[in-house]
């Protein structure tokens, strides 16, 4: 491995450094800082209104921070956005599949946006659908799929270009408990299988127990960044939910 590769191996997959974002008089993010390394599953836990959606809008390049720095595998999002965004795979909170297209057509459309040749895109699609248990659904219209399988298609789409960072923005919204559990287990397994860095945003405490670290975000500030067990121990509580409620004064309630 050459020296440049050595340096790249030391870089966090995702770096968020002192990020501030204001909307008029509202400070949505107030000096947010944390890292996610390759093979880490980091849960971003916060109540509604904590700033999770704002942070994901910045991470996905939809908006830019007022100050601070976001870097993806060393590429600064503000100065060098194209290579930074190329290393990201994103599953948004709101479903984004075209329900009238087949699973394959949805994925081929995405591949075209990334400039992938049709032949290599089709091979990648076949591989991702097989890994995610959707091989038999390749020619089904997205409208025919269950909510859980639609999310799996969106995950396949996010992974097609082999990103180094996977952003999951409250991906279990609207899913039944079994589908929520299946999707979470699937993402957790990617830590070792694909060495992808996963940032999983949620307001549900039962989704963070197996994370490598939990970043608690409240009113635009990071309150703690620690493994789940350490979070419980530090707050003198018995469960993650109790710890979360204690840190956030009831999850945002006054």
What are the tens digits of pLDDT across the range 28-40?
999 999 999 999 9
In the structure, what pLDDT confidence band is assigned to residue 3 with cuts at 50, 70 and 90?
Answer: very low
* pLDDT mean over 189-193: 85
> Measuring CA to CA, which residue among 66, 63, 74, 43 is closest to residue 169?
43
> What number does CATH give the domain 3-87+163-247?
3.40.50.300
Note if the pTM is more than 0.85.
yes
> What are the domain boundaries of the chain?
3-87+163-247, 96-162
Alpha-carbon gap, residue 25 to 21, rounded angstroms: 10
- Read off the pLDDT of residues 44-62 as tens digits, 9 standing for 90 and up: 999 989 999 999 999 999 9
């Amino acid at each position: 491995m050459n020296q440049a590769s050595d340096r790249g191996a030391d870089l966090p997959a995702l770096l968020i450094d002192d990020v501030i974002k204001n909307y008029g008089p509202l400070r949505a993010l107030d000096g947010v800082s944390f890292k996610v390394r390759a093979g880490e599953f980091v849960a971003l836990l916060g109540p509604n209104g904590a700033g999770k959606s704002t942070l994901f809008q910045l991470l996905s390049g939809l908006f830019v921070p007022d100050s601070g720095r976001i870097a993806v595998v060393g590429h600064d999002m503000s100065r060098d956005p194209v290579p930074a965004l190329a290393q990201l795979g994103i599953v948004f909170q709101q479903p984004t599949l075209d329900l009238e297209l087949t699973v394959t057509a949805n994925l081929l459309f995405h591949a075209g946006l990334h400039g992938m040749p049709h032949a290599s895109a089709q091979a990648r699609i076949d591989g991702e659908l097989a890994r995610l248990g959707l091989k038999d659904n390749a020619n089904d219209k997205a409208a025919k799929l269950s909510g859980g399988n639609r999310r799996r298609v969106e995950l396949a789409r996010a992974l097609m270009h082999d990103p180094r960072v996977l952003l999951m923005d409250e991906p279990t919204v609207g899913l039944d408990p079994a589908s929520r559990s299946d999707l979470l287990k699937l993402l957790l397994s990617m830590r070792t299988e694909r060495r992808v860095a996963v940032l999983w945003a949620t307001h549900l405490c039962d989704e963070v127990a197996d994370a490598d670290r939990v970043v608690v975000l409240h009113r635009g500030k990071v309150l703690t960044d620690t493994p789940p067990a350490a979070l419980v121990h530090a707050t003198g509580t018995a469960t993650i939910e109790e710890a979360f409620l204690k840190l956030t004064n009831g999850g945002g309630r006054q």
